[in-house]
Structure 1
Amino acid sequence: MQHPQDGGRVMFDVPVLTGSRARLEVPAWEIHVADDARTRAYRALRRDVFVDEQGLFDANDHDDIDDDPRTVVLVAVTPAGDVLGGVRLAPATTRDIGWWTGSRLAVRRGARHAGGIGSALVRAACREAVARGVVRFEATVQERNEPLFRHLGWERWGKATVAGAPHVRMRWPIDRFAALVRATKNPLGEVLSGIRDDHPDGLGGAGWIGDDGALVSGTDVVVATDAILPALIDKDPEWAGWCGVLVNVNDLSAMGAHAVGLMDAVSAPTASAVRRIVSGLRSAAVAWGVPILGGHTQWGGASSLAVTAIGRTAHPVPGGGGRPGQRLGLTVDLHGRWRRGFEGRQWDSTSTRTGAELRHLAGVIPEHRPAAAKDVSMAGIIGTAAMLAEASGTGARIDVAEVPAPDAAAFGDWLTCFPGFGMLTADAPPISSPLATSSTIGALTAAPGVVLRWPDGVETVAVDAGATGLGEA
């Protein structure tokens, strides 16, 4: 079925509450992802509903979504294995960019009053979509079913005519990006507001507020500091030490600086735990060719790790140097895999790179000197774009289909994870690297906030204005 607007797919969610209202004694049921046998039973049920009962199709309702191997079918089944209802969900585009649609919701005629099977299937489809990294989830439903979907939390965003019947386009609200920004960045403005007022160079000074590091006034020195979450330290001490160096080198790189030294503060309950953290620090410092100059080390207390990196540059790159109309670029290393134990959150593109490769990547932004740059942090690609835009006094529009991503990552996870090496840039010259993929993924805009533009031309709001509350740099 073709989407009436963009050549995509039309979704049918036909009535689930029509037909006889006679109550039948129906056994208890549960919802599962269907195997082949249950998928066949679900399709037979669909033919009964859509062909025989409602006459929407002449012979059968089979379409290209059924032939897509990525399609997921959820079914409500009795303990005996009888299929009482089902629904399917699938990517709306050839390349999975996190836009999925739900369709063919059907419940057996005699089971439509057996405890809300239709509603339960819709809820299950929403959960399944979110679990699979979906960030835009929609369905096209008949007008008389709109109240049901509204009751389940769906929002109406358009109209359509399907098989001669009036339909409405419904969207399940997924606020994954905004929620991540709220959790990781929103409080910064309020928490740090006094520091900005204490000194002209507070929080970096005018033009540099919100940057990943800080210029030391009157010098070519840039300093960056990051702390590692205690939960990460306890779970994987060596990886925590590695990340302590990684994130600081990235911070300096985003500002156009080359790292020249590191300081660390390490604490753990035992000396052996400290040794494991320091092992990770040493491995990373050797890989990036940056000496550990000193710091503070102790054991007998709670786990903690903070690393400060010192860098130098004659041409600092601001995080807030963007202007409306400038290209928004992403340069990212797609090599690697999810870090074991941190799947969906941390993409490990660095631990299997050679030192020469890591040093090459660290020099990409200093070499090309864009108008603005920020390394992709734990706020992910979308959240980091929001911070770059906020510091620049702009908004951002991201063309979702232009965002490069590894095949092994669910798209929604990729947009919200820490990718190892990823740099967002504004108005950058063409960036060429044998190790990283660069793409223009959108533009900075006059309107604040971040919107996502999809292949069908629809724009959805990802993050409202004010990612950190620190305001324009």
Structure 2
Amino acid sequence: MTEQMAWERNVLLVDHRLPVARPGWQLEEADPAGVRAHRQLRQQAFVEDQGLFAGSDLDDADDDPATVVLVARGVAGEVLGGVRLAPVGVDVGWWTGSRLVVAPGSTPGIGPALVAAACARAEQAGALRFDATVQDRYAAMFTRLGWAATGTADIGGRPHTAMTWPIGRLAALAQATKSPLGGLLAGFHLGGPGFVGDDGAPVPGTDVVAACDAILPSMVERDPGWAGWCGVLVNVNDLSAMGAAPLGLLDSIGARDASFAARVVAGLRAGSQAWGVPVLGGHTQLGVPAALSVTALGRTDRPVPASGGRPGQHVRLTADLGGDWRPGATGRQWDSTTGRTTAELQLMGSVVARTAPAAAKDVSMAGLVGTLGMLAEASGCGAVLDVAAVPRPTSATVGDWFTCFPGSAFLTTDGADRSVAPAGPATTATCGELVPGSGVRLRWPDGSTTPALAGPVTGLGASRTPEENP
């Protein structure tokens, strides 16, 4: 076939391709009129036709301003179906879906589309648990959509199945950021005995602790000044998590030109001044893609390991809830530090040193749950996190707060009789415990638990203390 003939055939294929069929309806979040139409469909289906409720199916969720109703509208604007979703009590990341209804004679596919949309909307609201109780005759549809059965119930004399939508946000973050480490770093004597997987590494034969962090190149390119500030922040946090007092910083900068490098340096300088930690030197390379890494040196004669946790110890979070989301990074980067004084930053940074807990780790790119999973892994155990007990800013959803970089936040573990030292503007709360096994489970206000991380996070394994080594 000649090139001209092939071109003509391709044109014919394109010209005769059938357009994608579009459904005769669309999904949207309901306005007041849509909510009323949804309630009318519910009344007809659940009260008048099925007799599941006497008189009315309205309940407290209908009066909750946090309740969301999604509807399917036909081409003329008529409501063909709907579903509602709402938090269970005070929003702690546990939502339920209910009152799924489709008008008789409607086009097939509306019900599954509403269920899928409700799942997406719940995750958008920061839910880490999304449940529903459905009539048994619809359980197979939910199963096909990925839901899992968790129990049985009886409503209005009809058998129902309790189901949950598996939200994998926490596991996906840990998988993306930390799971390759075990294989990549095999053979290295990371940190020495008792300190494998820690935020910093004790330098053998000294009281010096060294830490190193690189900032994402995309972040350096997008916000160079903030990247410089964070280069100081994350390294000081790493030292602080081991109870070390910062001594100084070394930086390595890559930039397309001197002007861009100056913006990164300005952020480094501001951070250095804010924490009172000098930049001792470093390296700068121009004419290259944006890059930044910072090494920090600190000092302590009693470094706190991440591996000191044991089953039965309480988990505590000390976090600065002030500030807000970094502009352009909502849901990902919380900025509490740029509004703090040097005295406040240093007081928060010394909380681990002044507490001397059994184990500690700062919350970083793996998020709160991923970081707790790493501490538990290094300690050779698992963890349970009480979702409702975790200190959280009012403007952050549970899902975002559990997966973001929170600025200044430290996890510590110790016996129930040990308290955390005052940390100035930071808030401290007991929010879980270490348990036998591995991974992390979330505990909810009803006492039930759900899996968050099924097993080890990094694959680096448990880190034995020096006393446990032969």
Whether the 8 Å contact between 1:259 and 1:309 is mirrored in structure 2 is yes
Amino acid at match of 1:379: A
Amino acid at match of 1:83: V
**Within 2, Cα distance between the matches of 1:80 and 1:60?**
28
User: Could you say which residue in structure 2 is the equivalent of 1:47?
Assistant: 43
The answer to whether residue 328 in structure 2 is matched with residue 332 in structure 1 is no
- Counterpart of 1:399 (choices 386, 392, 402) is 386
- Counterpart of 2:150 (choices 146, 152, 157) is 157
Measured after TM superposition, the shift of residue 432 of structure 1 is: 2.6
**Within 2, Cα distance between the matches of 1:211 and 1:218?**
18
**Within 2, Cα distance between the matches of 1:258 and 1:441?**
27
User: Could you say which residue in structure 2 is the equivalent of 1:15?
Assistant: none
User: Could you say which residue in structure 2 is the equivalent of 1:461?
Assistant: 451
- TM-score, normalised by the number of residues in structure 1: 0.91
Measured after TM superposition, the shift of residue 27 of structure 1 is: 7.8
User: Could you say which residue in structure 2 is the equivalent of 1:447?
Assistant: 437
Amino acid at match of 1:289: G
1:108/1:443 CA distance change after superposition, 3 Å: same
1:389-428 → structure 2 map (5 Å cutoff):
389-427=376-414, 428=418
Whether the 8 Å contact between 2:351 and 2:420 is mirrored in structure 1 is no
Residue-by-residue CA offset, 1:116-156 (whole Å, 9 max, x unaligned): 11111001101111111111001001111111111111100
**Within 2, Cα distance between the matches of 1:298 and 1:439?**
44
**Within 2, Cα distance between the matches of 1:247 and 1:464?**
27
Amino acid at match of 2:199: D
Residue-by-residue CA offset, 1:7-33 (whole Å, 9 max, x unaligned): xxxxxxxxxxxxxxxxxxx98100000
Give structure 1 regions of 4+ aligned residues with deviation exceeding 3 angstroms: none
Residue-by-residue CA offset, 1:285-304 (whole Å, 9 max, x unaligned): 00000010000012111111
User: Could you say which residue in structure 2 is the equivalent of 1:182?
Assistant: 175
SS in 1 for 2:385: strand
Residue-by-residue CA offset, 1:260-311 (whole Å, 9 max, x unaligned): 1000000111111100000000000000000100000121111110000010
User: Could you say which residue in structure 1 is the equivalent of 2:424?
Assistant: 434
Measured after TM superposition, the shift of residue 430 of structure 1 is: 3.3
Whether the 8 Å contact between 2:196 and 2:378 is mirrored in structure 1 is yes
**Within 2, Cα distance between the matches of 1:429 and 1:418?**
25
- TM-score, normalised by the number of residues in structure 2: 0.92
**Within 2, Cα distance between the matches of 1:65 and 1:431?**
41
SS in 2 for 1:388: helix
User: Could you say which residue in structure 2 is the equivalent of 1:97?
Assistant: 92
Amino acid at match of 2:64: D
**Within 2, Cα distance between the matches of 1:273 and 1:160?**
62
Amino acid at match of 1:445: V
The answer to whether residue 45 in structure 2 is matched with residue 58 in structure 1 is no
Amino acid at match of 2:431: I
**Within 2, Cα distance between the matches of 1:46 and 1:257?**
61
- Counterpart of 1:280 (choices 267, 278, 282) is 267
Measured after TM superposition, the shift of residue 79 of structure 1 is: 2.8
Whether the 8 Å contact between 1:259 and 1:312 is mirrored in structure 2 is yes
User: Could you say which residue in structure 1 is the equivalent of 2:31?
Assistant: 35
1:263-302 → structure 2 map (5 Å cutoff):
263-302=250-289
Residue-by-residue CA offset, 1:231-256 (whole Å, 9 max, x unaligned): 00011000000000000000000000
**Within 2, Cα distance between the matches of 1:120 and 1:431?**
51
Amino acid at match of 2:168: D
Measured after TM superposition, the shift of residue 80 of structure 1 is: 2.1
Residue-by-residue CA offset, 1:74-101 (whole Å, 9 max, x unaligned): 000023211000000000122x111100
- Counterpart of 2:161 (choices 162, 168, 189) is 168
User: Could you say which residue in structure 1 is the equivalent of 2:118?
Assistant: 125
Amino acid at match of 2:170: F
User: Could you say which residue in structure 1 is the equivalent of 2:140?
Assistant: 147
SS in 2 for 1:435: coil
User: Could you say which residue in structure 1 is the equivalent of 2:357?
Assistant: 370
Residue-by-residue CA offset, 1:169-214 (whole Å, 9 max, x unaligned): 011111111111110000000000022xxxxxx2111101100001
